[in-house]
Amino acid sequence: MSSLSAVRPKNFREKVFFRKLRSQVDGNARVEHGLTQIRGIGRRFAQVVVKLAGLNPNMRIGAIAEKDLNRIEEIILNPVENGVPNWMVNRAKDLRSGEDLHMLGNKLELTVRRDIERMKKIKSYKGVRHHLRLKVRGQRTKSTGRHGLVVGVMRRKKGQQTK
């Protein structure tokens, strides 16, 4: 018998499946780190969810009771109604609904892709940069972000190096 099995409670799960979120999380991870395995949830958002759920952040996610997992799911699905600040959601003032939403999983990817396509269609500055596959957020491009052929640097031929 290993030392880990002596510490684990009887209802410990190796994999925790959040049904409503359609996500699977490693049960051995601590609660905050385990929640970050869900696409759309970062470290700060996970910390707030754990605090609002009233859980110990050092607890393993596989040892959490089913009612607490349901509470975590409820907070993640409706963050603003459950006390998460408006500025912390990843989709503030959604263009279609005008509400503060928090996107997760595939819905997040589809929404970001739709936003980029909209920017390209209306030919905004960011849309043009995306279309040309250049840096979008004001980074320098003189020496970084090169892809394809190398620009501006040429190697000498072997015969010219010896002269």
For residues 43, 48, 53 and 56, what is the CA-based torsion angle, rounded to 10 degrees?
60
At 98, is the pLDDT very low, low, confident or very high (cuts 50, 70, 90)? confident
Same domain, 83 and 109: no
At 12, is the pLDDT very low, low, confident or very high (cuts 50, 70, 90)? confident
Residue 120's domain comprises 104-139
At 9, is the pLDDT very low, low, confident or very high (cuts 50, 70, 90)? low
* pLDDT value at residue 152: 61
Same domain, 70 and 119: no
Nearest CA-CA partner of 28 in 45, 48, 47, 7:
7
Same domain, 112 and 84: no
CATH of the domain at 42: 1.10.8.50
Residue 50 maps to a domain: yes
Same domain, 32 and 84: yes
pLDDT at 16 over 50: yes
Could you tell me if 49 and 76 are in contact, meaning their C-beta atoms sit under 8 angstroms apart? Answer: yes
Average pLDDT, the chain: 84
Residue 157 maps to a domain: no
pLDDT at 70 over 50: yes
Residue 63 maps to a domain: yes
Residue that terminates a domain, selected from 55, 88, 121: 88
Same domain, 111 and 80: no
pLDDT digits (tens, 9 = 90+) for 106-116: 888 999 999 99
At 94, is the pLDDT very low, low, confident or very high (cuts 50, 70, 90)? confident
* pLDDT value at residue 1: 46
The pTM for the full model equals 0.73
* pLDDT value at residue 157: 72
pLDDT above 70 covers a percentage of the chain that reads 85
Residue that terminates a domain, selected from 62, 88, 114: 88
Same domain, 84 and 14: yes
Residue 160 maps to a domain: no
At 120, is the pLDDT very low, low, confident or very high (cuts 50, 70, 90)? very high
Total of domains in the chain:
2
At 149, is the pLDDT very low, low, confident or very high (cuts 50, 70, 90)? low
Give the 3-state DSSP-derived string for the chain, with helices as H, strands as E and coil as C: CCHHHHHCCCCCCCEEEECCCCEEEECCCEHHHHHCCCCCCCHHHHHHHHHHHCCCCCCEHHHCCHHHHHHHHHHHHCCCCCCCCHHHCCECCCCCCCCCECCCHHHHHHHHHHHHHHHHHHCCHHHHHHHCCCCCCCCCCCCCCCCCCCCCCCCCCHHHHCC
Residue 2 maps to a domain: no
